[in-house]
């Protein structure tokens, strides 16, 4: 029996329009056999939470290159916790090393910064979902 594919919700959190990275990641996850819902630009923690519940996803991935991650990423964690939603959370973008540690501490499972190979993202997400 084959397992159902991993279901991933992706979105740009905040006002940032740099979506080259997230679009490439979306395609790579699809190529790796995952089911991907890309919600596009201008997502808020609330809009992502609603979509995640509706689509019953295993993973939420968000991106910001504008420096808003310290405010908006933890707000997503908070929204999920409040709702009791148990999903894998990962983020990407231009995120300084010291902020990566803070975001992990606040509840993100993984932060992939610029230059992370697509294959590594795929492998890591598979591991995280299995756990």
Q: How far apart are CA 119 and CA 99, in angstroms?
A: 24
- Cα 31 to Cα 68: distance, rounded to the nearest angstrom: 30
Tell me: does residue 33 bind another protein (CB under 8 A): no
Binders of another protein among residues 56 to 75 (CB under 8 A) are: 66-68, 70-72, 75
Q: Is 47 in the site for another protein (CB under 8 A)?
A: no
The piece of 10-18, 49-57, 81-89, 102-110 that touches another protein (CB under 8 A) is 10-18
Structure tokens at 128: 């995280």
Which of 12, 36 has the CB closer to another protein? Answer: 12
CA distances from 60 to 1, 2, 45, 98, 100 (A): 26, 23, 11, 22, 17
**From 54, 82, 83, 96, residue interacting with another protein (rule: CB under 8 A):** 96
Name the strand (E) or helix (H) holding 62.
strand 59-64
Residues at the site binding another protein, with contacts judged by CB under 8 A: 12, 14-20, 23-24, 27-28, 40-41, 66-68, 70-72, 75, 94, 96-97, 113-115, 117-119
């Amino acid at each position: 029996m084959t397992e159902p594919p991993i279901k991933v919700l992706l979105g740009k959190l905040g006002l940032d329009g740099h979506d080259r990275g997230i679009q490439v990641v979306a395609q790579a996850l699809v190529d790796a056999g995952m089911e991907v819902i890309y919600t596009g630009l201008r997502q808020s923690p609330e809009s992502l939470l609603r979509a995640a519940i509706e689509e019953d996803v295993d993973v939420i991935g968000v991106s910001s290159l504008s420096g808003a991650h310290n405010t908006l990423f933890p707000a997503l964690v908070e929204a999920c916790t409040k709702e009791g939603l148990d999903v894998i959370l990962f983020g990407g973008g231009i995120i300084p090393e010291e902020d990566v540690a803070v975001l992990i501490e606040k509840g993100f499972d993984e932060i992939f910064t610029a230059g992370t190979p697509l294959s590594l993202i795929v492998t890591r997400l598979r591991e995280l979902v299995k756990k």
